[in-house]
Structure 1
Amino acid sequence: MPLHGHAAPGGPAGALLPALGLLLAAVAYLLLAHRARRRNPAQGWRRRRAVSFLSGLALLAVALLPPLAPFAHADFRGHMAQHLLIGMYAPLALVLAAPVTLLLRVLPAQRARQLTMVLHTRPARVLAHPVVALPLSTGSLAVLYFTPLYNATMGIPAGHWLLHAHFLLSGCLFAHAVAGPDPAPARPGVRARLVCLGVAIAAHAVISQLMYGGFLVDIHAPVDQVRGGAEIMYYGGDLAELLLAVALVATWRPAPRPRTTATEPVPPAGTSLPAGGAS
């Protein structure tokens, strides 16, 4: 049995299915990018977007395939490295690839309008707000590691994969809310997003320090593994959030200033226009 009670992957399918899913995602994105270039050669699709998406998939492959995946089942430090790759590093690379914008480029006009309408619905606007994305991504870590939830989910394969899905989706949501290039109608200004990012950094630091000290944590693993996992969370999380801050600065665009037109000076109140000044 693994050292801290993880369920072992389900045979060869445990590696085959993730690899196949990642390969299909890569092929789909590249085909859509090729279609976008053919539809509008002048505008095209930036190669760095495709490189970013493929990099995100590569990070997911490192996390979900051997040798890291079996190690994560046997050692909490491997689990934490896997968590950072799935929940922080890969989501940033995937979000910077602007997959929603790519879809809007290649979909027929009617489908693109429907997708835009979905993005403007109230549930989508609420989910895409960083104040909501923050507790879903960072806040859920306290629930996971300070309650019996971690041990329960890692005891069965279904819980293990659901945990991965949560890490990936919530990480993508937070990265999109803070620095995503895709449309986000409810996204607040840069200052508000920096505040949310600062709260995430502080929360990661507090959780990792409590974990290192053994306070409040409910993790069935040797102490050295828990402390090692806390260090990975502390330093690896700082680096991921620094990259997210860089992405925020890189994708930020100042709001365009309203155009002003030259007009005749307005005379003070109580004065009359000179003769011939009005037609």
Structure 2
Amino acid sequence: MDHSGHGMMMDLPPFTLGRGLEWSADPFFLVACVAGLALYGWGVVRLRRRGDSWPVARTVSYVLGVLSIGLVMCTRLNDYGMIMFSVHMVQHMVISMVSPILVLLGAPVTLALRALPVAGKGRKGPRELLLALLHSRYMRIITHPAFTIPLFISSLYALYFTPIFDFLMGSRLGHIGMMVHFLAVGVAFFWPIIGVDPGPRRPGHLMRMLELFAGMPFHAFFGIALMMASSPMVETFKNPPASLGIDAFTDQSAAGGIAWGFSEVPSVLVLIALLFQWYGSEQRQAKRSDRAADRDGDKELEAYNAYLASLSARKG
């Protein structure tokens, strides 16, 4: 396998958390994270300047989501992830299952629709193009569970258990492409389930839970398969550099444990968020029903008063 461009990483000392968190930015992800934070900040400031509010919780969630991407792609975790299966699996799990959840709870699409100016009559600006995309057939397809769940599952099995993984890990560009793919798959899977942004489909809360649990067990099975394997599963991590002082088989088992563990944590987070969303939806529905009942009651009272007034007029 060609490790050109990774010579510096072949001599990395044994992994520790302190070394893993040292600054070592990937230029692509650094620019993408900074741009993502800047655009979101611009949207929030624009709303505030015109007197509109934007929930602080959404901003915090989005910022944490982007920072989590930066954590695994702009530190030495990214360098160690090229030669250690366990560290790579941390990157994969965070960028595909933690970052998407936090970013989606930040409602970036809703913010964009509120912050972007409306184009003039007969013209199409960024806001109109975004709306067209949201309501397109393409979005209906990529957010449908018949697409998202198989994609979520195949991104594990079809990638790691075929030569595709080794091919992509052979270059920095391939590695970046793979990580972008993991992030996109996570967003596509979790958007219909937990996303607060508008989209082509918004199933009921019970159906969202079913979609969540349809995909998660396969993550657990994948982790168990790695832990129970009797030989190294991928060529990339078969012969770790001697400077790391690790055994490839032990490292693979650790990677499996990480994959298995991460299948539980996001499930709990999403389930909690879904229950809160469900409760909020029921509360809003109850308030709407109360307002409708109040209006109906007012109309009945007005009709009754009008009836009494008409009786008085006749007597007069």
Q: TM-score, normalised by structure 2?
A: 0.74
> Residue by residue, what CA displacement relative to the aligned partner does 1:100-122 show, whole Å, maximum 9, x if unpaired?
00011012234434432321121
In 2: Cα distance, 1:190 partner to 1:9 partner: 49
SS at match of 2:264: helix
Structure (1/2) with the larger helix percentage: 2
Structure 2 vs 1, CA of residues 217 and 187 (structure 1 numbering), >3 Å: closer, same or farther?
Answer: farther
**Among 111, 133, 154, which residue is 1:118 paired with?**
133
Match for residue 220 of structure 2?
205
Q: 1:90 Cα shift?
A: 0.9
- Say if 1:180 and 1:251, in contact at 8 Å, map to a contact too: no
Amino acid at match of 2:6: A
In 2: Cα distance, 1:78 partner to 1:6 partner: 20
Structure 2 vs 1, CA of residues 180 and 201 (structure 1 numbering), >3 Å: closer, same or farther?
Answer: same
Q: Does residue 58 of the first structure (1) align with residue 74 of the second (2)? A: no
Match for residue 40 of structure 2?
29
Amino acid at match of 1:223: F
SS at match of 2:81: helix
Q: 1:248 Cα shift?
A: 1.9
Which residues of 2 match residues 105-254 of structure 1 at below 5 A?
105-110=114-119, 111=125, 112-214=127-229, 218-220=233-235, 221=238, 222-252=248-278, 253-254=281-282
In 2: Cα distance, 1:50 partner to 1:223 partner: 41
Q: 1:8 Cα shift?
A: 2.4
Amino acid at match of 1:239: V
In 1: Cα distance, 2:197 partner to 2:207 partner: 18
- Say if 1:208 and 1:234, in contact at 8 Å, map to a contact too: yes
Match for residue 88 of structure 2?
79
SS at match of 1:196: helix
In 2: Cα distance, 1:201 partner to 1:124 partner: 23
In 2: Cα distance, 1:138 partner to 1:183 partner: 25
> RMSD of the TM alignment (CA)?
2.9
**Among 9, 15, 25, which residue is 2:26 paired with?**
15
SS at match of 2:263: helix
In 2: Cα distance, 1:123 partner to 1:36 partner: 30
Q: 1:44 Cα shift?
A: 1.1
In 1: Cα distance, 2:25 partner to 2:71 partner: 14
Structure 2 vs 1, CA of residues 207 and 217 (structure 1 numbering), >3 Å: closer, same or farther?
Answer: farther
Q: 1:14 Cα shift?
A: 5.7
Match for residue 268 of structure 1?
none
In 2: Cα distance, 1:96 partner to 1:198 partner: 19
Whichever of the two has the greater Rg, that structure is 2
> Residue by residue, what CA displacement relative to the aligned partner does 1:52-87 show, whole Å, maximum 9, x if unpaired?
111011111110022211111120001000101111
SS at match of 1:74: coil
Amino acid at match of 2:44: A
Q: 1:26 Cα shift?
A: 1.1
Q: 1:139 Cα shift?
A: 2.8
- Say if 1:147 and 1:217, in contact at 8 Å, map to a contact too: no
Structure 2 vs 1, CA of residues 96 and 6 (structure 1 numbering), >3 Å: closer, same or farther?
Answer: farther
Amino acid at match of 1:51: V
In 2: Cα distance, 1:66 partner to 1:199 partner: 33
> Residue by residue, what CA displacement relative to the aligned partner does 1:146-204 show, whole Å, maximum 9, x if unpaired?
21211111112221111001011111121211100001231222222211111112111
Percent identical pairs in the alignment equals 28
Q: Which runs of 5+ in 2 are unaligned?
A: 10-22, 120-124, 239-247, 301-316
- Say if 1:6 and 1:74, in contact at 8 Å, map to a contact too: no
In 1: Cα distance, 2:249 partner to 2:8 partner: 27
Give the paired residue count.
Answer: 260
In 2: Cα distance, 1:224 partner to 1:96 partner: 36
